[in-house]
Structure 1
Amino acid sequence: AVMGIPFARWADRGNRKHIITLALTFWSLMTALCGAAQTFWQLAFARVGVGVGEAGSLPASQSLLVDYFPAHQRARALAIFTSAGTVGYLLAFIGGSHLVAQYGWRLTLFAVAAPGLLIAMFTMWGLKEPRIALKSQFAAARAGQGTESVTATLRVLWHKRSYRYSAIALTLWAFFAYGALLFVPSHLMRAMNVDLKAVGTAYGGVSAISALIGTLGGGWLTDRLARRDRRWLLRLPAWSMVLATPLYVAAFMVQSFWLFLLMGAVAGCLVSATLPAFFTATHTVCGSNRRAMAVAVLLFFMSLIGAGLGPVVTGIVSDLLLPHFGAQALGYSLAAMSLSMLVVAWLAFLASKHLECDVAA
C-alpha cells in the first residue's frame, strides 16, 4: 500500500513499460525467494518484497492501459484487466493445490515465479509506451506539471469532489468486499455445518465466477451507459450497491447453503461490477499526468484502511453478538457489515453530481 505512492510518482513522469517490467521481474524473483526461504524472517522479507513489486505494477498498468483506449472503451479495458486477478485466483485454486499436493509448496513457488520472468520479457519488448510516440505533447504537459510536488498532486485530487467521494466509497467497498467477506467460509461452517471441502469447491468457485461475470459485465454496461451520460460512471456503482445490499443481508440470514450460493452469486456480480466504473471515473477526472498517483492513492486507502479494518470490525461485532446468538453471531455481524454498501451507494451518488465539473483532459 505504501510503496505504491513513490512508484506511481515515477509512473506519472517516466516510462511505464520499464516500471511494469521492473516490478514484474522483482516480484517474480521475490516469489522464488519465498520458496528458497529457510527461516521465518527470510520468508517474511521475501513476502514483503512480493508486495513491493506488486505495488509498482498496478498504478502504472492502469495508467498505460487508459492511454491505449478511447474514453468510450476504457471501462471494458479496465474490466478485462481487473478480471485477470480473478482468473489468477481460479488457476491458483485449481492448479496450485494440485502442485502443492504433488511437489510441495517450495517447488510450487518456483513454478509460479518462472512464468512471471517470461512475461516480464514480453512486457519489455511487446508493450509500447505512447509517451515516446507523442514525446512533444507529453513533454509540454510534463513541463506544465513539472514543479508539482506530491503534496500538490494530492491536494488537486482531493479538491475534486467526485474523486474525494469515490476514494471514501472505495475504502468502504474494500472494508466489506476485501475485509468482511473473508469470514464467509467460517460462517458457512458454523451456521450451516458445511464441510471445508464443500465451502472451498462450491463457494470458492461460485464467488470467482460471479466476480468474473460481474466485472466484465460491469465494464461493458458502464461504457454503454456513459455514452449517453458520463455521470453513469458513478451512478452504476451506486445502484449496484443498492441492489446488492438486501441480497447479502438475506443471504447471511438463510439456513440453506444452496440458497446462500444463489443470492451470494447475484450480489457478488453486482459488487464486482462497480470497480471498472469507479476506476474509469477516476481516470476521467484526475488528469493524464496524475493517473498512476490517483490509482495508487485509492489502492492505499482500500488496502490499508478498508481491507485492514474490515476483518477486525467484523470479528469484534461477531464476538459481541456471540453470547446472544451463538453460531449465528457471525452471520448477523456479516449482515450488519453489508449495510456499509448503502453508504457506498450514497457517496457514489454524491460523486456523480460533481463529475462533470471535475473532468480533466
Structure 2
Amino acid sequence: MAIASRNTLSKPSYVYEWYVVLICMLAYVFSFVDRQVLALMIEPIKRDLQISDTQFSLLQGFAFSLFYAVMGMPIAYLADRFARPRIIAIGIALWSLATAACGASQNFLQMFVARMGVGVGEAALSPATYSMLSDLFPRERLGRAVGVYSLGSFIGGGMAFLIGGYVIGLLKQMATVTIPVIGTIRSWQVTFLIVGLPGILIALVFILTVRNPQRKGLTRDATGQQERVSMVRALRFIGSHRKTFSCHYLGFSFYAMTLYCLMSWTPAFYIRHFGFTPMQAGYTLGTILLVANTTGVFAGGWLSDTLLKRGRTDGPMLAGLIGAIGLLLPAVAFTQVENLNASLALLVVAMFFASFPLPTSTAAMQMLAPNQMRAQISAVFLLVSNLIGLGVGTTVVALITDKVLVSPKAVGVSMSIVNLVATLLAIFLLWLGRAHFRRSVSHEDQHKARAPEYDSSKHDTTSPTNIPTPQEIS
C-alpha cells in the first residue's frame, strides 16, 4: 500500500521532514564523538606519540577548528549551489575516514593531518543541514527542527566523554590490542577506529534516502531572473544588514565562548579542585551533557518557536537573550563554591542555558537569509563563532591561569572571569540586536512579497531526482 503523499492530507504530517532531521542529528552525533573523543585520552596519546602539551593542544584545537572554520565558506558555497545531501554525505565519509586515520597515526604530523581532515569533513554538515531544514519546515516550526538536530552535538559530546572515560579505565588492564589484518595496536587507537568507521554507513544511508528539497525563498534581480549563488552577494547581503549581523554574530559568539569554556575546562577544574580522576571527570561531564545540554537545546528551540507564534518576529534573538540571562549566575558561580554537590547543581543549570544559542542563532539566520545565501551566511557565523568562542575563549582561560594567577589550581577563577565577561557581552549584544533584527526581517519580508516565488524544482538540475523519498515508496 502506497504511503499517502502530503498534499492529500488536510494538514502536513512532516513525517519525511522529521526523518531528515533525525538522520542529520545522527550524523551530528557521530561528528561530535569523532571531534571530542581526543580530549580525555591526552596522557596515552602524549606518551605514545612523544608529544608535548602544546602539540596536543594544536591537535585538539588548532588543527580541527581552523580548518573547520575556514573550509566552511567554500563548502557552504557548494551547498548553496548544488545538491546538499551529496555534499553532506561526502563530508560524513571524509571525517569518518579521517577519524579512523587518527587511530593509525604514528607521529604528531600524521595525527595533525588526520585532525585537519576531521575539521574539513565536519565543515560540510551544519551549513548544508541548516539550509535544508529551512526549506523543509515553515518559519514557526524551524526552531524545534534545528533544536532536535542540535541535540546531536551534546549527545555526541556526552558520548565522547563517556567513551574517553571508559578507555582510560580500560588502559589500566590492557595496553595493546591485536586485530586481524591490522595487527597489534594501542587501545586508544582502537577507540578511533570504533567511533570513526561506522560513519561510512551513515553517509551511505544519507545519500540513498535523502533528496535535495525544493529551494524556497530564492531571490530575483531587477529583471526577474533568479540571482546566482555568489560569495560576494552573500557578503554584500551581510553588509546591507550589518547592524543585525554584527549583533547576531558577535552576541552568539560570546555566548559560545562561555559554552566552549564550560566544555573544555570543566574536567580540568574538577580534577584539580575536587580531586576527580580523569575517568570520573569524563563520566560526570558526559552524563551532564546528555541530560542538561540536550534538554536545554530543545528548550531553546521550543521557546523560539513559541515566541514566533505569539507574533514576536525577534523570537530567536529574544530566546537567546533569555538563555544568556539565565546562564550568567551559574556559569560564574559553579567554580566558586566549595561544596561539590552545589557546584555540580550549578553546572547543570549553566549547561542547560548554555545550550540555547544552537537552535536560536540558527533560526535567526535562516529566517533572514535568502535561499541562495543560507549556507554561506551560516558558514560566516561558524567562522566567527569558532575563532572567538573556541579559539580565543579557551586560550584566554589558559593565559589567565598561567600568566596572571600563576597556578594550575586557579583555573576555576579564570573560568569565572571569562564566563562573566563573555556572558555580559552576549546579553548586551543580543538585547541591542533585537530591534535591528526586527527591522531586517520586515525589510526582507517586504522584498519577498514583491517578487513571486521561484520554483527551483524546474531549474535545479543538481537535485538527485532519481532517488525516491519515503513518501514515494510503495
Report what 1:61 is aligned to. 129
Q: Does 1:190 align with 2:265?
A: no
Within 1, Cα distance between the matches of 2:267 and 2:303? Answer: 31
The answer to whether residue 379 in structure 2 is matched with residue 280 in structure 1 is no
Q: Tell me, yes or no, if the aligned pair for 1:74 and 1:223 is still in contact at 8 Å.
A: yes
Structure 1 position 320, deviation (Å): 4.6
Partner of 2:386 in structure 1? 303
Q: Report how far residue 260 of structure 1 moved.
A: 0.7
* TM-score, with length taken from structure 1: 0.90
Q: 1:124 is matched with which residue: 207, 218, 221?
A: 207
The 1:98/1:333 distance shift into structure 2, 3 A limit, reads closer
Instruction: Show the counterpart of 2:48.
Output: none
What's 1:312 paired with?
395
Larger radius of gyration: 2
1-side partners of 2:404 and 2:383: how far apart? 31
- Find the residue that maps to 1:269 and give its secondary structure: helix
| Match 2:347 to one of 264, 270, 280 | 264
Q: CA distance change for structure 1 residues 138 and 282 in 2, over 3 Å: closer, same or farther?
A: closer
- TM-superposed CA distance for 1:268, in Å, is 1.4
SS state at 1:352 partner: helix
Determine the C-alpha separation between the residues in 2 that align with 1:17 and 1:189: 42
Distance 1:235 1:309, change over 3 A: same
Partner of 2:328: 245
Q: Is the contact between residue 133 and residue 145 of structure 2 (CA under 8 Å) also seen in structure 1?
A: yes
1:233 shift after superposition: 1.2
Cα 1:230/1:203, change in 2 over 3 Å: same
**Contact 1:180/1:337, CA 8 A, preserved across alignment:** no
1:357 and 2:425 matched: no
1:21 aligns with 2:89: yes
Deviation at residue 211 of structure 1 after TM alignment:
0.7
CA contact (8 A) 2:165 2:283 kept: no
Pick from 227, 250, 254 the counterpart of residue 337 of structure 2.
254
Q: Which deviates the most, 94-103 or 198-207?
A: 94-103
CA distance in 2: counterparts of 1:193 and 1:25, whole angstroms: 40
Deviates more, 1:6-15 or 1:106-115: 106-115
Alignment pair present for 1:174 and 2:259: no
| CA shift in 2, pair 1:36/1:330, >3 Å | closer
Q: Deviation per CA, 1:148-193, whole angstroms, max 9, x where unpaired?
A: 6423311211331222211011221222211465222222233333
Count of residue pairs brought into register by the alignment: 355
Percent identity of the aligned residues? 29
In the superposition, the TM-score normalised over structure 2's length comes to 0.69
Are the equivalent residues in 2 in contact too, given 1:12–1:291 (CA < 8 A)? Answer: yes
Q: CA deviation at 1:130?
A: 1.5
Q: Which has the higher helix share?
A: 1
The residue that corresponds to 1:338 in the other structure is 419
Gaps (5+ residues) in structure 2? 1-68, 178-186, 449-474
| Counterpart amino acid of residue 25 in structure 1 | A
Look up the equivalent residue of 2:303 and give its one-letter code: L
Q: CA offsets, 1:247-273, max 9 Å, x none? A: 222222111111011111112111212
Deviation (angstroms), 1:86: 1.4
Give the AA of the match of 2:213.
P
> What amino acid is aligned across from residue 300 of structure 1 in structure 2?
L
Deviations along 1:6-28, whole A, 9 cap, x unmatched?
A: 00011111111111111111222
User: For residues 302-337 of structure 1, what are the alpha-carbon distances to aligned partners after superposition, in whole Å with 9 as ceiling and x for unaligned?
Assistant: 1123210112211222235426xx676322222111
Residues 108 and 252 from structure 1, CA distance in 2 versus in 1: closer, same or farther, beyond 3 angstroms?
A: closer
Alignment partners' CA distance in 2, 1:121 and 1:200? 31
| Residues 32 and 113 in structure 1, CA contact (< 8 A), matched pair in contact too | yes
Alpha-carbon contact 2:75-2:124 (below 8 Å) kept = yes
In 1: Cα distance, 2:191 partner to 2:403 partner? 40
Letter in 2 for 1:155: R
Q: Which residue of 2 aligns with 1:155?
A: 236
Residue of structure 2 equivalent to 1:291: 374
State the SS of the aligned residue for 1:130.
coil
Q: 1:209 aligned to 2:291?
A: yes
